[in-house]
Amino acid sequence: MKIRTPLFFRLTNHFNSLALLIVLFSFPAKTQEDFLLLFNLKLERHSLEAALNLSPSQLINYIESHGVEVTPPTGAWAQRFQDHSILGKYISPYGFEAQVKHPQIILSNYNDKWTMIHEFVHFLLDQKRHLENKNNDSEIFENHRNAREDYIEESSRGFPSKEQQIASFTNYFNLEIKVLKLLSLEEISIESLLLELFQQNQIEGLTNHQARTAANYLKSNTNRASAQLESFERIASDLKIGANQSELQTLVLLENKMAEVKRDLRMALSRF
């Protein structure tokens, strides 16, 4: 016997879907212009703007329409979410943490719109990065680990020349920045963007408490990234001793990159 869904639920689902379509198509036509975030991270503007004023249930439908699976925490993830230190998690099919065939967002609270948008922005950045670079994140982490180990090992033995030491340090630093952009710098850029949109009243359904929590999270990530940069600044400064003109130019270029990241870190802190 075929069991029919009660009329109330069929009508509710129909009106929810209709409401989502009305909200999505009420946005003016957009070009494929990008949002340029801090640290030169980019995401497609319209995909984010279309999500800002959806209700939580509409937002989940919208995220899933992009091919993202939205799930509650299960298995090992359930244990990691237990103490509420993690509210959401984006898992990339190109990432290093898990082998998934499709993008996935894990949420502990399906009404927490701030976390939903935060994780959705991770997805948009991930898609943009993969389309432009075709890189697998796991390769970046592997290359970074090797560069770090090589630099530390050679430093303990002594480099054959200053030129080789600077070349090894440059490779290590450039990969460090790539890793930071996948970790703390991406977190900072997302929370900075959401705080700015919240302060400009461009997102509905968020609270001052969520904004304060986001600001604290942004600050902790900023402090962590700043400490890592300072350690590289000290190494670059030490390497200048006894360096020739060409080697000094290389180190100055690295210091300029560090200064750019520090500028964006200061800008992020100015958002709250």
**Is residue 70 within 8 Å of 113, Cβ to Cβ?**
no
Tens digit of each residue's pLDDT (9 = 90 or more) over 105-149: 999 999 999 999 999 999 999 998 888 876 678 889 999 999 999
Tens digit of each residue's pLDDT (9 = 90 or more) over 64-117: 999 999 999 998 889 889 877 789 999 998 876 657 889 999 999 999 999 999
Average pLDDT, the chain: 86
Task: Count other Cβ atoms within 10 Å, centred on residue 162.
Answer: 14
> Any residues with CB less than 8 A from the CB of 187 and at least 6 apart, and which?
217, 218, 221
Model confidence at 30, in pLDDT bands (50, 70, 90)?
very low
Is it the case that residue 35 has pLDDT exceeding 70? yes
Is it the case that residue 7 has pLDDT exceeding 60? no
Read off the pTM.
0.83
- Give 130 or 187, the one with higher predicted confidence: 187
Dihedral, CA atoms, 219, 223, 225, 227, nearest 10 degrees? 180
Q: How many angstroms separate the CA atoms of 87 and 85, rounded?
A: 7
Query: What is the average per-residue pLDDT within 167-193?
Result: 95
Tens digit of each residue's pLDDT (9 = 90 or more) over 198-247: 999 999 899 999 999 999 999 999 999 999 999 999 999 999 999 999 99
Q: How many angstroms separate the CA atoms of 249 and 243, rounded?
A: 9
Q: How many angstroms separate the CA atoms of 164 and 170, rounded?
A: 10
Q: How many angstroms separate the CA atoms of 190 and 48, rounded?
A: 12
Residue with tokens 């937002």: 59
